[in-house]
Amino acid sequence: MIELTADRAGTAPARQNLFVATILVGSFLLFLIQPMAARFALPVVGGAPNVWNSAMLVFQLLLLGGYLYSHAIARQRMRRQVVLHLALLVAAALTLPIALAELPPAAPGWEALWVPGLFLLSIGPVFFMLSSQASLMQRWFAASLDAGDPYVLYGASNLGSFGGLIAYPLLFEPTMPLAVQSLLWSAGFVALIAMVALAGWSRWNAGTDFQEYVSPDDREREAPAVTPRLLALWIALAAVPSGLMLSTTTLLTTDVMAAPMLWVIPLGLYLLSYTVAFSEEGTLAEHLSTIAPITLLFVGALALSPAGQASMEIALAMAVLLFLVAVALHKRLFDLRPDPRHLTLFYLMTATGGALGGIFSALIAPVVFDWIYEHAILLITAAMLLRPIELPFVSAFWRRGGWLPVAAGALLLALAAWLAYELSLAAVYGLNARVAGFIGLIAVIGIIVGSQRWLYVAVLSLLMLGHLGWSTIQSSIDGQRARSYFGAYHIENSADGELRYLTHGTTLHGQQFIDPDRATDPTSYYGTTSGVGIAMRHAAPDARVGVVGLGVGTLACYRKPDQRWTFFEIDRQVVAFSEAGAFTFLSDCTPDARIVIGDARIALDDQPADSFDLLAIDAFSSDAIPVHLLTQEAFAIYGDALATDGLLLVHVSNRYLDLAPMVAALARRGGWHGAMRMDTDDLGPGMTPSLWIALTRDNESHNRLIEDSEAEWSQLPPPSEQAWTDDNASILPLIRW
């Protein structure tokens, strides 16, 4: 039971449980609002991986602002701090409940600034105040002479953050509409204000002068002097894990395994790393810090590997590496913490580093690099900051001085370079035992030289280059790669030279025969026996056709002379591939087609009613179909844009989600008649298995498509229990576990 008595001159026992609970609740709300705000914004921003990175950047900048605010008021008298903080919390509460700010749609090419602006205006005030909670409550906690080390409460902060992050996809999103989520969150914010008031009352008479106070824990260690060099090191140790968390998210969701909800894993591990590292006991963090540089050698070898090696094992290894490196760097950060007088400055520098890491990965890298090179750069930077690998006798040899260690280092580096060259020759055939053997040998060299930082970094770099890293760089030099806000693309020819591919991570966006005589032949998911191919061939000669998702433009060559075609594409870079002649379906078959740049749902909503006779929905982003294109509201927009007897084609081929039951539920809800075409048998060169669903509100049109078709159509599967809406949608029931 909390005793509502103010501390007298800071001598009463510290109410640690109250402060732990306040920090936990604040951090829980802080990381619950992040995916909630992204869910609110989904209908207008879509589901591309960089949308989440943009959101994370805003959150990190607001976190920096919150830490700056707590640092600014920390030198005020305690009573003034309490009154000011409570007043600002109440002012922020006046912006509740959570709602999306109304902004005009983003102009093409300005998404990287528009998306952060949307989040800033929507949740900025409450997020800003929550961002200050952890450091300010620790500062208030330390104002008592009996408090002890306030830094260990940072672990509680990140534990609460992790809880909020996990609670949203597992509990809130599947069971509650957005309106209920918003009201519950708002109630939690009001409860937090009451807890802060209690915490403030418990320190009402406390002082703020830490000059003469040293906690019992701090007496046992010598806190480092706060110098410009130490400030820079704090920033670096916080920036690298932050940037690495975002680069790992991008890598996993676009280039290793485009599974849904994968972005939750890197952020959750990043938060847990703080909990482990900022531990008073610290034994686990010490062990993990020892393992981190060794793991970095083995797993970091994959950092520059191009797409096409998707597997659960690689995804798991990347996640483990992020956690170990983050723990090791955050442990160094914890060991370098100052005495409590500089607590708010320490957290301000930590937040600055987090924001800088986010700016690098979310804003700078997508503009500067044409592939996810930031991941390798951050891993190499981490190698420079990790504690050295200390081996008995070996480390002593490197420190003995003289010409012998220099010669040995040069010899080992030359051996590593030769093995990396052999690795580059073997790696083109995939990850096999021979490749693993070369990686192991080079990694052993890295362990041997691990106490010599620059030798260690050089060996790690050779590992990255040897395992397909140079081929990735060569593709960029040859102009085969491109990157936009919505993803990293790669153009390459097949081994036999017959086909040219466009891939986004591990997802095939389309392919075209290089032979001019076959350049207009349908390929990949759009063959003549696919659902969309059949529908296109049966379309009226003067049909009005709309296609959501351009890809390489394969569908264009189904066009009949009097048909009018419109393509909706969110990424200008995808259009640029066709305009530059990398793929010629558009120029060969529909040179006069209208191309609308922007989110298809918003663009279709602006179309006049009865604009299309056939509308194909084929919007992919590394296998993650944007949820906002598969809701009741979206299907209502499609219905308005279609003629009464119009045909809606939905492409639901997906490795990780079984989308057909959801489309069936939407069809039942909207009064659509539907059939499904799975095209998997007797596929020729350049063809890919596909699953298309055809929907129409006119029963005669539906029967005509099925009866006139020479291919077999099947009934829709049993519908999902609940059809997605903008207000309530969860992918959990549709995941192919």
- Could you report the per-residue pLDDT of 446-473, keeping only the tens digit for each? 999 988 999 999 999 999 999 888 988 9
pLDDT (average), residues 318-337:
94
Q: Is the pLDDT of residue 707 over 90?
A: no
Torsion, CA 406, CA 411, CA 412, CA 414, rounded to 10: 120
Each residue's pLDDT tens digit, 518-533: 999 999 999 999 999 9
Closest by alpha carbon to 732, among 648, 653, 658, 622?
658
pTM, entire model:
0.81
pLDDT tens digit string along 397-420?
Answer: 888 877 898 999 999 999 999 999
Q: Which range, of 142-156, 191-205, 425-439, 624-638, averages the lowest pLDDT?
A: 142-156
DSSP code, position 1: -
Q: How many residues appear in the chain?
A: 737
Give the pLDDT of residue 737.
Answer: 65
Cβ atoms within 10 Å of 67's Cβ, excluding its own: 26
Which of residues 594 and 728 earns the better pLDDT score? Answer: 594
Q: Which residues contact 386 (CB under 8 A, 6 or more apart)?
A: 289, 292, 293, 296, 325, 328, 329
Residue 307: per-residue pLDDT: 53
In angstroms, the Cα distances linking 221 to 146, 169, 231 are 18, 42, 19
CA 377 to chain centroid: 18
Mean pLDDT across the stretch 681-698?
Answer: 89
Token pair in block for residue 254 = 């676009």
For residue 7, pLDDT over 50 is answered with: no
Report residue 307 as tokens: 């797409």
Q: What ranges in 449-555 are assigned the alpha helix state H?
A: 453-464, 470-477, 531-538
Q: Over the stretch 235-289, which tens digit does the pLDDT of each residue have?
A: 999 999 999 998 988 877 665 444 546 677 888 898 889 888 887 677 899 999 9
Phi first, then psi, for residue 339 (nearest 5°) are -75, 165
The mean of the pLDDT values for the chain is: 84
Report which secondary-structure segment, H or E, holds 567: strand 564-569
Q: What is the pLDDT of residue 9?
A: 39
Bridge partners of 507, per DSSP, are 504
Farthest CA pair distance, the chain: 90
Rounded percentage of the chain residues whose pLDDT exceeds 70: 88
Helices 433-448 & 453-464, crossing angle to 10 degrees? 170
Distance CA 702, CA 674 (A): 7
Please tell us whether the domain made up of 1-209 is placed in CATH 1.20.1250.
Answer: yes
> Helix, strand, coil: what percent of the chain each, to 5?
60, 10, 30
Cα separations in angstroms, 333 against 66, 396, 500, 615 = 20, 26, 48, 55
CB 139 within 8 A of CB 150: yes
Centroid of chain to Cα 718: 32
CA distance to 104, 395, 611, 614, 647, per residue, from 640 (Å) = 22, 72, 8, 12, 12
- The DSSP secondary-structure symbol of 615 reads E
Residue 623 has pLDDT above 70, yes or no: no
Q: What is the mean pLDDT of residues 637-664?
A: 91
353 against 310, higher pLDDT:
353
For residue 358, the Cα-to-chain-centroid distance in whole angstroms is 11
Q: Where in the chain is the domain with CATH 3.40.50.150?
A: 499-734
DSSP 203: T
Coil/strand/helix, residue 584: coil
Count Cβ atoms below 10 Å from residue 363 Cβ, excluding itself. 17
Fold of 499-734: Rossmann fold (3.40.50)
Grouping H, G, I as helix, E, B as strand and the rest as coil, residue 643 is strand
Amino acid in position 655: R
> What is the average per-residue pLDDT within 492-497?
86
**487-493, strands of its sheet edge to edge:** 481-484, 487-493, 499-504, 507-513
- Answer whether 472's CB lies under 8 Å from 306's CB: yes
Residue (of 192, 185, 140, 187) closest to 25 by Cα position: 192
Mean pLDDT over 350-360 rounds to: 90
Question: What pLDDT, on the 0 to 100 scale, is given for residue 638?
Answer: 96
Share of the chain above pLDDT 90, in %: 41
Other C-beta atoms lying within 10 Å of the C-beta of residue 478 = 10
Cβ atoms of 628 and 46 within 8 Å: the answer is yes
Q: Report the pLDDT value the prediction gives residue 454, as an integer from 0 to 100.
A: 92
Q: Are 616 and 548 in contact (CB under 8 A)?
A: yes
Given its phi and psi angles, is residue 551 left (phi above 0), alpha (psi -120 to 50 degrees) or beta?
Answer: left
| pLDDT above 50 (res 308) | no
3-state secondary structure of 400: coil
* Residue 703: Cβ within 10 Å count: 13
**pLDDT for the residue numbered 281:** 73
Integer Cα distance of 535 and 468 in angstroms:
42
Most confident of 218-232, 412-426, 427-441: 412-426
Q: What element of type H or E holds 694?
A: strand 690-696
Gap between the terminal Cα atoms of the chain: 45
Q: What is the pLDDT of residue 484?
A: 82
Q: Are 600 and 628 in contact (CB under 8 A)?
A: no
Q: Which residues contact 112 (CB under 8 A, 6 or more apart)?
A: 50, 54, 362, 363, 366, 367, 485
More confident residue, 58 or 222: 58
The pair phi, psi for residue 512, each rounded to 5°, is -140, 140
pLDDT tens digit sequence for 55-87 = 777 887 888 888 889 888 877 888 899 999 999
Residues of the chain with CATH 1.20.1250: 1-209
Distance CA 183, CA 185 (A): 5
Q: Specify whether the CB–CB gap between 466 and 453 falls below 8 A.
A: no
* The two structure tokens encoding residue 527: 């063959």
Q: Token digits for 3?
A: 């005793």
What secondary structure does DSSP assign to 354-367, as a single string?
A: HHHHHHIIIIIHHH
The 10s digit of each residue's pLDDT in 565-618 is 999 998 889 999 999 999 999 999 999 999 998 888 888 988 999 999 999 999
Q: Which residues contact 698 (CB under 8 A, 6 or more apart)?
A: 644, 645, 646, 673
Burial class (CB within 10 angstroms; exposed 0-12, middle 13-18, buried 19+) of 597: middle
Of 174-183, 213-222, 238-247, which one has max mean pLDDT?
A: 238-247
Q: 539 by DSSP, 3-state: which?
A: coil
Sheet strand arrangement including 612-617: 594-597, 564-569, 544-548, 612-617, 642-651, 690-696, 673-679
**How far is residue 550's CA from residue 537's CA, in Å, rounded to a whole number?**
19
pLDDT at 194: 95
Instruction: Please give the radius of gyration of the chain, using alpha carbons only, rounded to the nearest integer.
Output: 28
- Identify which has the larger pLDDT, 72 or 214: 72
Q: Which of 58-67, 129-138, 218-227, 711-720 has the lowest mean pLDDT?
A: 218-227
Query: Residue 682: CB partners within 8 Å, gap ≥ 6?
Result: none
Average pLDDT over residues 120-138: 88
- At 46, is the pLDDT very low, low, confident or very high (cuts 50, 70, 90)? low
Alpha-carbon distance of 148 to 140, in angstroms, equals 12
Do 659 and 704 touch, CB atoms closer than 8 A?
no
The answer to whether 531 and 548 are in contact (CB under 8 A) is: no
pLDDT band at 207 (very low <50, low <70, confident <90, very high): low
Phi, psi of 117 (to 5 degrees): -60, -40
Q: Match 């007496």 to its residue by tokens.
A: 219
Side chain identity at residue 722, one-letter code: Q
For residue 419, CA distances in Å to 416, 434, 459, 728 come to 5, 12, 11, 54
The pLDDT-based confidence of 15 (bands split at 50, 70, 90) is low
Q: CB-based burial of residue 17 (10 Å sphere; 0-12 exposed, 13-18 middle, 19+ buried)?
A: exposed
Give phi and psi for 379, each to the nearest 5: -65, -40
Structure tokens at 214: 């040293």
